[in-house]
Structures are given as structure tokens and as C-alpha cells.
Amino acid sequence: MRPVFIDSPWFGGDYNPEQWPEAVWDEDVDLMRRAGVNLVTVGVFAWSLLEPEEGRYEFGWLDNVLNLLHESGVKVDLATATAAPPPWLSHQYPESLPVTADGVRLSPGSRQGYCPSSPAYRRAAGRLARKLAERYGSHPAVVMWHINNEYGCHVSRCYCEESASAFRRWLEAKYETIDALNVAWGTTFWSQSYGSFEQILPPRATPAFPNPTQSLDFDRFSSDELLACFLEEKAILRELTPNIPVTTNFMGTFRNVDYWTWAPHVDVVSDDLYPDPADPDAARGSAMARDLMRSLGRGKPWLLMEQSTSAVNMRPVNVPKAPGQMRALSYQALARGADGILFFQWRQSAAGAEKFHSAMLPHAGTDTRIWREVVQLGAELATLGSVLGARTQAQAVVVFDWDSRWAIEQAGLPAASSYLALAAHWHAALTEAGLTVDLSRGDEDLSGYPIVIVPSLFVMTDAQAAAIDAAARAGSTVLVTSQTGIVDENLRVRLGGYLGDLQSTLGVWIEEFWPLGGAWARPGAIPVTPESTVVPTVQVRGDVFGPETATGIEWSETVHVRDAAVRAVFEGGHLTGWPALTRRSHGAGTAWYLATRLGREDTARLVAHLIAESGLQVRTPVVGDELGFVETVQRGEALFVINHGPTAVMLAQDGTDLLTGGDARGMTLESQGVAIIAPRVTLDSEDDAVGAADERVRIPR
Ligand code: GAL
């Protein structure tokens, strides 16, 4: 297999020349050269041109595009074009269109209009992938395969008849007998016992809650079914072009596909991410997505496959990125392990559904802010080869699990929750405290991390419980938060007080959930949504939070202590005096349990406590970051400092800034400013020559 990366970061974007007359293509490659573009993704949405009618292929135009790019020294990530089936497919095979839970068959005329289980779609997609591999597998420009595009983005669940029978096959392979399924799904409740697999349907619209385990299995099946589409195409490409790496673009922390099961199947993890510039917390959310990508690839470099240069057009209001923000967010990706920065798309469309989505080359041409920022970034990246391949170092891990996500967001639970919000809250708190965070499904060795956070691991497997326990024993500071260890993989409650096997790790067990919202709960002043301006809260008192009380949000529960120290208690309401925060020494480490949710400041206080306990030293390389928007990440020998805040800060760190060549200490970092600080190294051979002026920066890999 050829290496995915070269000695300079990949830089470029989706290139869709089919939207333009050929006369424009020469200008494209000329401008690509000026911008430093070295990789483009071609053909993502070109199926209807590549195969205008079933079995008739027209590759002439694509030959010309690839040859032109090759002559210009631009490499190609060639798409298999299967994400947007052409009109003829659904015309000839109407059953290939997806169906929603309430039985509506979606119409063509957009994109992703296919049922992942449709044999007609699968056959046609496989045929096209084969044709492309046969024709372009040895084209010198092609360095990577881009299978499909953003699997599940628009259609991640299909409820049609084809999907129903694929679901049955998946269930039969999983459970083997209908009796085993009945036990797993708890079908004795509400008279749901099945006599055969033939009787089973996807969880279509039902009168009341659908069976929870049926729904979770359908979530798992739907993720696997999309993966099966990917694997079918991958097998064809591997057979014909074993040396060309394959990828498909993930979508950050996307809900509907379990990326832990996908990641081992891609040769390089790649990501599409569109943080909202109108959101002051955008950089916090994107930090988590990038950490997830690195973690999915087990620390290996990944590829930012798509981002916008400025505004998108998918939101009700699409705010442009602030001057410098695209650059700052690009460096965030590089800091967190990306070895390439690409965009959707190269030239802004003049027609079609995304013509108001920004691009590298805007409608107004090259005398524009966006173009200048693109050219600047391209030129800078070309000098940063020394950063590539290096590992980003994390000091903490947050457990992030799709089964728990799907299950805790079902109906019929003690309270509605957003799993992503719960996990992102802890990721952001650790990041703001200056740590870099990995993510993990939680069923692997976690013991190397000084800090391990387990937010609401609702569905907990034995392997996860064992890994969490082992981390604490081995010396980690572990914090488990409420609604962890409630059910097993089949959503059967772990009886005997909640928390399952973690009861012995934490020294506590949970008797009863007490979500806030009852008459006694104190309405706090923490806005959640415009519709509900307050959330119910309860006071929490304990030394960890100092002399003031902390505020517990949305959730409380009755915690019984067997063998742990109570570090904070609830105050006010029915649970006054009951534990809200506990700590137990466990082996060489500690195991904390938090029985409520905390706001930002209280969380920061608890995190500071955990950091102190873990013995980690957190570096603060800037002065003046009162607002806490400066991001610091160590990648190999390079320290990335990125100011996402509105005001300037000053660097207080020795070393050389790789972007300016200047001394880092004392440098001002304006809003959206970036420094990449490398330790100064004096080259021996030049020691005597000129002294300080001749210092060079070297970054060991
Ligand atoms: C992605 C997609 C691109 C483009 C982009 C716009 O979802 O892969 O084709 O639609 O978003 O932000």
C-alpha cells in the first residue's frame, strides 16, 4: 500500500469541474498552482455524467480532467461517485429510494437518494466503482480512493421492505434463534413475543414507544448496513488496485453511524467539519471532533477532507468565518493530528443547491479576502512538513460510546438527555483546563491516561466496566458521572442498584433516579434554549467547590455509600444531605462519582481538583487569556497556540514560532492568531560561526 501522506501537508479541496465549461479548467489549475493546492477530490457527485444511462459510461471528460491535473502536479483523491445516484436509477428501480419511519418514500431530485439495502443500488454502485478502478487505477494522478461521500448524512435509516428483510438477516446472524431474540428484546412485555424472524419489522411508526432493544438493534444494523455498502466498494477497489489507500469522509461526532466500528476499515481517517462561526463555542466543539478523528485512527495522522473557507448555506443564518478564523481552525486540525487540510469546494458553484456555500475561489474571484486567506494558508502549510507524522499527546481520555448515545436518547427514560452534550461538556472542560483529550469507546486499555472521564455510559459492557476499573487500579484519576452502568448491551437493567460492576470500583450504588423538574427543584438561571429559559437545579455543597455551593443541573439521584468518601452533598429538596460527589481510593488511583450535572464554572473547579490529584502539570504558555479561548496542543515537538478569543494575548513560552521565524516569548497573538512553537536547537556545526542569529529550528519526528 502506498503511503497516504507526502512530505508536505495535503492542501486542496473538492474539485467539481463538471459544473463548468472546459475553458475554465485551465484557469482552475493555474490558480491551484498559485494557491499551493496539491490534492483535489474529484467526481464526488458525477455519477449522472459518468453513467448517463444504465451501463453506458462516458469517461472522456474525466480523462481530460485527470490528465490536466497530473500535468499540473496536482494529485487526486478519486471519488467512486456513488453518493448521489442518477435519475435513471430510481426511474428504473423505484424501490431503490429510501423510505422514512412513517412510510414516505423519498423522491429523487436531491442527493443520497438510495436505500443502503437496495440490491439495485448496490449492484449499480459496485459496477461504477469497478469501472473507475479499471480505468484509473494506474493513473499517475490518483493517490487515494474516496468511497461514496459522508455515509448516512441525509439517509441513515431506511424502513422499506428491502431494509426490513436485510434487518431480519442481520438479526438472524446475531441471535441465531428467535427465542434468543425474544429474551434479548424482553418481548414478554406488551405482548411482543415473535414466532419467527419473518414477523419482525424495522421500528416503523408505532402507537406507543417501540421496543427499546429493537430500536437499538436497528440503529446498529443501520450503521452496519451503510458500512456494508462501503465494504462492497472497498473490496472491488482492493481487488483491482491493492496499492491505493481508501477512505470515506466521516462527519465529526455524527450521531447515526458508529465510527468505532467503521474506523478499522479505512486506510486513513478523514473528516468533514463545519463549525458554526456564529457560535462562540465553535472551536470547543471542533476540538472534540478532531480529537475523535485522531482517536479513531489510534493516534495516526488523519485528513481534514472538508471544511468551508467561510460561510456555509445549510443553516437558517449563515455567518461568514471571521478574518483569520478559517486559518485558526485549520491549524486546530493540524495541531490535533491532521496531515492535510482540504475544503468543500475549490470553485464556488454558480448553480445548484450549494451556490451560496463559500469555496476556495469565491464568486467574486481572486481580489477577495477569502482567496487571499487561502493563498496564505497554502503557502504556510508548504513550509510545515516537519510537523507531519508527529503524534499529538493527550493527558486525558473521555469515554464516548455510540450504543450509550443511541440508548440514552430513546423515549421512555427517566429524563430526556443529549449524550453528545453530556460528553462534549467534559471534553470542553478538560480542554479549557489546558489538557489534550483522546476519546475511547472505553473497552480498551485506558490505564495510560492520568485522567479518565466516563460521562453517562448508560449501556455498559463488562469489558468497559473492567477497563474503567483497571485504569483506576493502575493509577488513573477516574470520574464516572450519573446514568452510567444502568443497562447491558441488550438494554436489560443491571439489577441490584445501578452502576453494575462499577459499584465495587466506586464504592457506591444508586437506589433511585431523581431528575430535577419536580416542584421542589429550584429553577436556576442557566438558560438552555430560547423556549425554556431556566433549567431546574439543586445546590451541591462540598470542599471541592470551595465555600460557595455548586449548582447541580437537571439530574440528581439517591446514592448509597459502601466504601467511599463523600466529597459533596445535595442541599435543599428531598435529597438534602445525600451524596452528590464521592471519591474512593482504588489501587494506585482514585474513582470519583458525580450524581448530578454541573455548569461550566463548577465543572472547571472539579476538573482543577482532578488535575491536581493526578499530578499533571498544566502549562500556560500565554498571558492575558482571561476569557479562556486560547487553545494549546503539543504535537510532537511543536506546541500549537491558537487564540480563538476576541482579544489579543501574549506568548510566555520560549522557542521559535515556525510561522514567523521569530522568538515566541513576548509575541502578541491577536484574535484568531496562531503560533507553532518549536524548541530552539543550535546546530553543532554552526555553533562558532555566528551564534544566536544562526540558530535553527529542528523538529525531531
Ligand atoms: C458536506 C458534503 C459536501 C457539501 C458540504 C457543504 O456535507 O460532503 O458535498 O455538501 O457538506 O458544507
The band of 681, judged by pLDDT with boundaries at 50, 70 and 90, is: low
40: pLDDT strictly greater than 90 = yes
Q: What is the mean pLDDT of the chain?
A: 94
Rounded CA-CA distance 561/575 in Å is 14
12 Cα: distance to centroid of ligand 1 (angstroms): 15
For residue 147, pLDDT beyond 70: yes
Q: Ligand 1 pocket test: which of 19, 354, 355, 358 has the largest number of ligand atoms within 8 Å of its C-beta?
A: 354
Query: What local confidence, expressed as pLDDT, does residue 398 receive?
Result: 98
Distance 41 CA to ligand 1 centre (A): 12
In this prediction, residue 518 carries a pLDDT of 54
At 277-286, the pLDDT tens digits run 999 999 999 9
Q: How many helices, marked H, and strands, marked E, lie in the chain?
A: 18, 31
Residue nearest to atom 9 of ligand 1 (CA): 344
pLDDT tens-digit readout, 547-556: 999 999 989 9
* pLDDT tens, position by position, 656-677: 999 999 999 999 999 999 999 9
All domains of the chain in start order, with CATH: 10-387 (3.20.20.80), 396-614 (3.40.50.880), 622-695 (2.60.40.1180)
- Contact between 98 and 105 under an 8 Å Cβ cutoff? The reply is yes
pLDDT category at 624 given cuts 50, 70, 90 is confident
Contact 89, 96 (CB under 8 A): yes
Q: What is the mean pLDDT of residues 504-510?
A: 98
Position 272 pLDDT exceeds 60 = yes
Predicted confidence at residue 697, as pLDDT, reads 38
Give me the half-sphere count of Cα atoms (radius 13 Å) on the Cβ side of residue 420. Answer: 11
pLDDT in tens, 557-569: 999 999 999 999 9
Task: Write out pLDDT tens, residues 230-248.
Answer: 999 999 999 999 999 999 9
Q: Are strands 142-146 and 246-247 parallel, antiparallel or unpaired?
A: parallel
- Compute the distance from residue 284 Cα to the ligand 1 centre, in Å: 21
Q: Which three cell numbers stand for residue 460?
A: 455498559
2, 38, 275: which is closest to 15 by C-alpha?
38
- What would the mean pLDDT of 525-531 be, rounded to a whole number? 46
Active site residues: 150, 306
Instruction: Determine the atom of ligand 1 nearest the C-alpha atom of 44.
Output: 9
Instruction: Determine which helix (DSSP H) or strand (DSSP E) holds 523, and give its type and residue range.
Output: strand 522-523
Tell me how far the alpha carbon of residue 344 lies from the centroid of ligand 1, in angstroms.
Answer: 6
Q: Report the atom number in ligand 1 closest to the C-alpha of 308.
A: 12
128 contacts 80 by C-beta, under 8 angstroms: yes
What pLDDT does 690 receive?
Answer: 39
Read off the pLDDT of each residue in 401-407 and give the average, rounded to a whole number. Answer: 98
How far apart are alpha carbons 230 and 263 in whole angstroms?
12
DSSP per-residue string spanning 462-505: HHHHHHHHHHHHHT-EEEEESS-S-B-TT--B--SSBTTTHHHH
Q: Whole-model pTM above 0.75?
A: yes
- Residue nearest (by alpha carbon) to ligand 1 atom 5: 344
Q: Which of 651, 664, 650 is nearest to 695 (CA)?
A: 664
Band (692; pLDDT cuts 50, 70, 90): very low
Residue 694 has pLDDT above 50, yes or no: no
Average pLDDT over residues 432-449: 97
**d(C-alpha 643, C-alpha 630), whole Å:** 4
Nearest CA-CA partner of 626 in 338, 432, 379: 432
Answer yes or no: are the C-beta atoms of 513 and 408 closer than 8 Å: no
Range 118-127 average pLDDT: 98
Confidence band (pLDDT; 50, 70, 90) for 682?
Answer: low
Which residues, judged by CB distance below 6 Å to any ligand atom, belong to the binding site of ligand 1? 149-150, 153, 272, 274, 306, 312, 314, 344, 354, 357
Query: How far is it, in rounded angstroms, from Cα 485 to Cα 481?
Result: 10
Q: What is the pLDDT of residue 576?
A: 96
- Tens of pLDDT, residues 313-369: 999 999 999 999 999 999 999 999 999 999 999 999 999 999 999 999 999 999 999
Mean pLDDT, rounded, for 43-49: 98
Least confident of 325-334, 459-468, 474-483, 672-681: 672-681
Q: What angle do CA 426, 618, 591 make, to 5 degrees?
A: 50
Of 212-226, 478-492, 669-683, the range with the lowest mean pLDDT is 669-683
pLDDT of residue 525: 43
Treating both helix axes as pointing N-terminal to C-terminal, what angle do 212-240 and 161-175 enclose, rounded to 10 degrees? Answer: 90
Task: Report percent pLDDT > 90 for the chain.
Answer: 91
What is d(CA 545, CA 542) in angstroms, rounded to the nearest whole number? 6
Number of C-beta neighbours around residue 206 at 10 A: 12
* Mean pLDDT across 157-174: 98
Q: Quick check: 678 pLDDT over 90? A: yes
At 534, is the pLDDT very low, low, confident or very high (cuts 50, 70, 90)? low
Cα–Cα dist 290/301, whole Å: 11
Residue 626's pLDDT is 77
